């Protein structure tokens, strides 16, 4: 006859404890649906910003600078794919490779913005951002990333991420890319090297802050609940 | 698992019991030390409980379980590696280095006084914090064992231990 070891007794005790107050749970909705919910909030923000923005100036810019289309497409796609990847990573059985999903869109965003910078050197009469305008860009991206990140983290906490740092960093990329896309409503100048550097700095800052702060929050959420 | 998600306690117990051999096999494959495999089992059981709402019944439960067990085993290996880097196991050095202060006759009195101070500070802590210190520090139990013994979550045990140590530190500083 097998005598149960201390460990077996501990497992049995834990299993009974976990099953004792078992309540029905509401299944988590698929990552695609949760991504769509977050994007709806971003779209609502875009509508509000479009009301107060100078849309004709934006139209002129888009017509004059073809590479801007590519940069906007790249940043918007980065936001969508990074949000989807973050919701995937919030599942406990997610593969780390999901974090690579927004990479092609991010490359498109960076390369298209880089080509925009070349225009400043080769096309006469282009208006590049000065230091105070670059500072405004930085403040806009960070300022808008904070509520978008907070919303995303609240939604991610419904999941159970076993890689909280990576999940939070991907969420940070989604929020920063969304903020950078919405910045185009108020960006009355062509991309320049300083402007691109400011954007890269702002996005990196948001990702790092998310990884440090939200990552801890997601990990705390998991440990507190266990 | 679908029955457990609907609140069927008996099905849930059966499922968790059936998970144990699978978890142990994953942990062994990850080369977790034999004496730590039960820690992985406890961690994974708690993770399943916490994450049960994320499981999609249209997908394979075994695949879901194996990925979680694998990840928790890796987490445990990382934690162990961090502890190994900080701590050195040297029983010979411990035995061959005499404690010079042991020869001091006044040390016994000072030690008794310090022990009394610690005991009083410990007694003044709230019950849950005292319990955490008792099991972790004085009895040197593992987190999983303490969790099973006290029927409290690992998270709350960690929080209570942290608060207890902070409170003890401030009480001892105040008395010094």
Tell me if B156 and A17 make a contact (CB, 8 A cut-off): no
Nearest CA in chain B to A223: B155
Chain center to CA of A107 = 15
pLDDT score at A167: 93
A16–B contact, CB cutoff 8 A? yes
pLDDT score at A224: 45
What is the total count of domains within chain B?
2
Which residue, B122, B56, B26, B27, is CA-closest to A31? B56
**Higher-confidence residue: A38 or A2?**
A38
**Higher-confidence residue: A38 or A191?**
A38
Tell me if B9 and A19 make a contact (CB, 8 A cut-off): yes
Tell me if A7 and B47 make a contact (CB, 8 A cut-off): no
A33–B contact, CB cutoff 8 A? no
Residue B82 buriedness (CB in 10 A; 0-12 / 13-18 / 19+)? exposed
Residue A53 buriedness (CB in 10 A; 0-12 / 13-18 / 19+)? middle
Is the pLDDT confidence value at B87 over 70?
no
Domain boundary among B70, B86, B102: B86
Tell me if B12 and A22 make a contact (CB, 8 A cut-off): yes
Tell me which residue in B4, B46, B149 faces A226 most closely, judged by beta carbons. Answer: B46
For residues B15 and A18, is the Cβ–Cβ distance under 8 A? Answer: no
Are B23 and B67 in the same domain? Answer: yes
For residues B152 and A14, is the Cβ–Cβ distance under 8 A? Answer: no
For residues A193 and A117, is the Cβ–Cβ distance under 8 A? Answer: yes
Chain center to CA of B61 = 27
DSSP bridge partners of A190: A128
pLDDT score at A119: 61
Going by pLDDT thresholds of 50, 70 and 90, the confidence category of residue A6 is: low
Chain center to CA of A176 = 6
B63–A contact, CB cutoff 8 A? yes
Task: Quote the minimal CA–CA distance from B53 to chain A in Å.
Answer: 5
Tell me if A223 and B45 make a contact (CB, 8 A cut-off): no
Residue-wise burial string across A99-112, b where 16 or more C-beta atoms lie within 10 A, e elsewhere: bebbeebbebbbeb
- Three-class SS state of A128: strand
Provide the 10 A C-beta neighbour count for residue A170.
32
What is the per-residue pLDDT across A8-34, written as a single tens digit (0 to 9) for each?
A: 777 888 888 888 878 888 888 999 999
Q: What residues in B contact A27, CB-CB < 8 Å?
A: 5, 53-56
* Gap between the Cα atoms of A8 and B144, Å rounded: 12
* Gap between the Cα atoms of B137 and A163, Å rounded: 29
pLDDT score at B156: 75
Q: What residues in B contact A95, CB-CB < 8 Å?
A: 67
Tell me which residue in B7, B10, B155 faces A224 most closely, judged by beta carbons. Answer: B155
In chain A, alpha helices (H) = 6-20, 31-52, 55-64, 66-89, 103-122, 131-156, 164-183, 193-209, 215-225
Mutate to test the interface with A, among B33, B53, B139 (most CBs of A within 10 A): B53
Are B76 and B131 in the same domain? Answer: no
Domain boundary among B41, B71, B86: B86
- Residue-range domain boundaries for chain A: 66-225
CATH at residue B123? 1.10.10.10
Range of the domain at B43: 2-86
Which residue, B147, B167, B169, B148, is CA-closest to B157? B147
* Gap between the Cα atoms of A171 and A89, Å rounded: 10
Rg (CA), chain A: 22
CATH at residue B74? 1.10.1740.10
pTM recorded for the entire structure? 0.70
Tell me which residue in B12, B53, B64 faces A93 most closely, judged by beta carbons. Answer: B64
Q: Pick the most confident of B15-24, B145-154, B167-176.
A: B15-24
B34–A contact, CB cutoff 8 A? no
Task: Give the DSSP letter of residue A125.
Answer: T
Q: Is residue B171 part of a domain?
A: yes
* Gap between the Cα atoms of B48 and B69, Å rounded: 9
Q: Is residue B36 part of a domain?
A: yes
Tell me if B72 and A19 make a contact (CB, 8 A cut-off): no
Q: At what angle do helices A103-122 and A193-209 cross, to 10 degrees?
A: 160
Least confident piece of the model among A16-25, A33-42, A147-156: A16-25
What is the per-residue pLDDT across A90-119, written as a single tens digit (0 to 9) for each?
A: 999 888 999 999 999 999 888 888 776 666
Nearest CA in chain A to B7: A24
Are B8 and B69 in the same domain? Answer: yes
What is the per-residue pLDDT across B39-86, written as a single tens digit (0 to 9) for each?
A: 888 889 888 988 889 988 888 889 999 999 998 898 888 887 777 666
């Amino acid at each position: 006859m097998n005598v149960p070891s201390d460990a077996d007794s501990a497992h049995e005790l834990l299993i009974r404890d976990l099953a004792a107050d078992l309540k029905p749970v509401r299944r988590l909705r698929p990552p695609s649906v949760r991504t769509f919910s977050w994007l709806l909030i971003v779209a609502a923000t875009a509508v509000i910003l479009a009301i107060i923005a100078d849309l004709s100036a934006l139209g002129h810019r888009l017509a004059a600078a073809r590479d801007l289309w590519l940069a906007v497409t790249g940043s918007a796609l980065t936001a969508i794919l990074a949000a989807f990847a973050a919701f995937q990573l919030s599942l406990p059985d997610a593969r780390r490779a999901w974090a690579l999903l927004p990479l092609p869109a991010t490359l498109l965003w960076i390369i298209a913005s880089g080509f925009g910078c070349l225009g400043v050197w080769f096309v006469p009469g282009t208006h590049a951002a000065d230091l105070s305008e670059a500072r405004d860009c930085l403040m806009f991206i960070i300022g808008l990333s904070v509520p978008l990140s907070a919303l995303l983290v609240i939604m991610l906490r419904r999941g159970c991420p076993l890689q909280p740092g990576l999940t939070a960093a991907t969420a940070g990329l989604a929020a920063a890319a969304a903020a950078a896309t919405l910045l185009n409503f108020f960006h009355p100048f062509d991309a320049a090297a300083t402007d691109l550097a400011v954007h890269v700095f702002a996005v990196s800052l948001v990702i790092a802050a998310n990884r440090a702060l939200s990552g801890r929050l997601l990990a705390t959420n998991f440990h507190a609940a266990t | 698992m679908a029955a457990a998600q609907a609140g069927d306690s008996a099905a849930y117990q059966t499922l968790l019991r059936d998970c144990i051999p699978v978890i142990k096999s994953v942990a062994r494959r990850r080369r977790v030390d034999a004496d730590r495999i039960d820690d992985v089992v406890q961690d994974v059981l708690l993770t399943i409980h916490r994450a049960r709402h994320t499981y999609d019944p249209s997908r394979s439960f075994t695949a879901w379980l194996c990925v979680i067990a694998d990840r928790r085993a890796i987490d445990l290996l990382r934690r162990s590696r961090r502890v190994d880097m900080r701590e050195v196991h040297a029983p010979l050095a411990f035995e061959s280095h005499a404690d010079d202060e042991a020869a001091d006759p006044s040390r016994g009195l000072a030690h008794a006084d310090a022990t009394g101070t610690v005991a009083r500070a410990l007694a003044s802590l709230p019950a849950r914090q005292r319990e955490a210190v008792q099991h972790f520090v004085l009895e040197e139990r593992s987190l999983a064992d303490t969790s099973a013994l006290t029927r409290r979550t690992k998270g709350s045990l960690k929080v209570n231990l942290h608060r207890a140590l902070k409170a003890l530190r401030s009480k001892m500083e105040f008395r010094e």
